[in-house]
Structure 1
Amino acid sequence: MKKVFLSVLAFVSIAATAQVKTPQSSPSSKVEQVVGLTTIEVNYSRPSAKGRTVFGELVPYGSMWRTGANANTTVTFSENVKIEGKDLAKGTYALFTTPKADSWDVYFYKTTDNWGTPEKWDDSQVAAKVNVKPASTSRNIESFTISVNDITNDNATLNLEWEKTIVPIKIEVPTKETAISSIEKTLAGPKAGDYFSAAQYYFQSNGDMNKALTWVNQAIDLTEKGKDAPFWYLRQKSLIQAKLNDKKGAIETAKLSLAGAIKAGNKDYEKMNNDSIAEWSKK
């Protein structure tokens, strides 16, 4: 009797602790992408077609769709953005869509704790609504996919992809405003690295080259107290001078950067400076 009792007790103990693990039919996924200075994060579940016709049948045309499966698909922006030209404040939004054969309505909804679409739709919760044109693709996309593509410093495309349909949603991010605001704030009491970063950004974004030159000179001045200016600072200065059509000054600065790169054993900067000196000497 004691053995039977112990056997039953062991079975109950195993049953209480055991957990059956099975895969989700619509597994969860997360996308995180930095665009310029803005972080975009998407959390969603990925249903699969499994041989079914998706748009027009599984997902009916003209009806609101949760845009995924299970809990709300959410999109988070770390900065204020524009969606298809419309302003959208930074924050987290549920993503709902109304697919149609020739266009999709896309909603960024403030309430994000619904399971599926809201039981009662509230227009006051719509932070932004845009209409976009779907595109066709020759490849078959088995699982619903959300991706962030076509990334530049200033914009990107949020793509909704399933079956043979891609829905591109253009996102503009405030990189230039954020960067310039950061530069102006930091330069109230900047260090050499701050001046260098400001000059580098203006150079890369085709800003005011005279300002860029002033800032890179200030970066060099701050680092020359007691030691040589970094060769990468000098390299950036030479590029700015060249863009200002001061080829003679650019060559002189590049030679200083070259000497520093040789001293540091940096072959990459040695080659870049030699190439630039040769290029600028021809003109």
Structure 2
Amino acid sequence: MIKKIIIAIVVAVVGYFAYGVLTTRSHSPLTTAEGSSGDLSVSVDYCQPYKKGRLIFGEASEEALVPYGKYWRLGANDATEITFSHKVNFAGKAVAAGRYRMYAVPNTDHWEVSLNSQLGEFGYFEPDYTLDVVKVQVPVQDGPTGGIEQLTMAFDSDSTGLLLNIAWDETMVSVPIAQQ
């Protein structure tokens, strides 16, 4: 009898976690943002969480979803990954062509955005920081009044190359990317 109860509990716990894993994509769907400038093409694969009435950026003491000064995977679920077809200047720093894990440490006035060579990881877990390829700081801009419900990454182009715009709630940052 006790054996059957233990088996039932194990099945219930495994079922609960399996359901969460199998339905997580519907809550934060996987998407790709793509941009190009001349011969350069850049793509970002990330999962798009929704605000759902939560405080997104703020202090940990305020129970912000993304606390200032802490690692953030730039999305949900899997780690966010960016791919460059050619060598680039990523906010002024040289980066070889290839695929990288991208994450951020948001602050009130700037974000530190990093590229890391550790790929294929679940984004919840912090990367091996010794594998960081580059860290850049970009200023925080005001997003649209009323905010953006779902995390969005999109590319704009200007005379120097591309701008990767990352926007959520009432916050936006732009990372300049230019082919070298």
Q: Tell me the TM-score range normalised by the shorter chain.
A: 0.7 to 0.9
CA contact (8 A) 1:80 1:87 kept: yes
Aligned residues: 153
1:52 aligned residue (51, 54, 63):
54
The alpha-carbon deviation at position 171 of structure 1 amounts to 0.9
| 1:126 alignment partner in structure 2 | 132
Q: Which has the larger radius of gyration?
A: 1
Which secondary structure does the structure 1 equivalent of 2:66 belong to?
coil
Seen in structure 2, the aligned counterparts of structure 1 residues 80 and 32 have a Cα distance that, compared at 3 Å, is: same
**TM-score, length-scaled by structure 1:** 0.51
**TM-score, length-scaled by structure 2:** 0.79
Seen in structure 2, the aligned counterparts of structure 1 residues 26 and 121 have a Cα distance that, compared at 3 Å, is: same
Spell out the pairing of 1:210-229 with structure 2 (5 A cutoff). Answer: none
1:74 aligned residue (62, 70, 81):
81
Q: Which amino acid aligns with 1:76?
A: T
Establish whether residue 146 from structure 1 lines up as the match of residue 153 from structure 2: yes
Spell out the pairing of 1:1-283 with structure 2 (5 A cutoff). Answer: 24-56=26-58, 57-119=64-126, 121-123=128-130, 125-137=131-143, 138-149=145-156, 151-152=157-158, 154-174=160-180
Q: Which amino acid aligns with 2:40?
A: T
Q: Distance in 2 between matches of 1:75 and 1:23?
A: 19
The alpha-carbon deviation at position 33 of structure 1 amounts to 1.8
Q: Distance in 2 between matches of 1:110 and 1:167?
A: 22
Q: Distance in 2 between matches of 1:77 and 1:98?
A: 22
Q: Would you tell me which structure has more helix in proportion to its own residues? A: 1
- Tell me the percent identity: 33
User: What whole-Å deviation, never above 9, does each CA across 1:132-153 have from its counterpart, x for those lacking one?
Assistant: 111012241000011111x146
Query: Gapped runs of 5+ residues in structure 2?
Result: 1-21, 59-63
Could you list the structure 1 runs, at least 4 aligned residues long, displaced by more than 3 angstroms after superposition. 20-23, 117-120
Q: Distance in 1 between matches of 2:25 and 2:126?
A: 28
Q: Which amino acid aligns with 1:25?
A: H
The alpha-carbon deviation at position 122 of structure 1 amounts to 2.9
CA contact (8 A) 1:93 1:111 kept: yes
Q: Which amino acid aligns with 1:128?
A: V
C-alpha RMSD over aligned residues: 1.9
Q: Would you tell me which structure has more strand in proportion to its own residues? A: 2
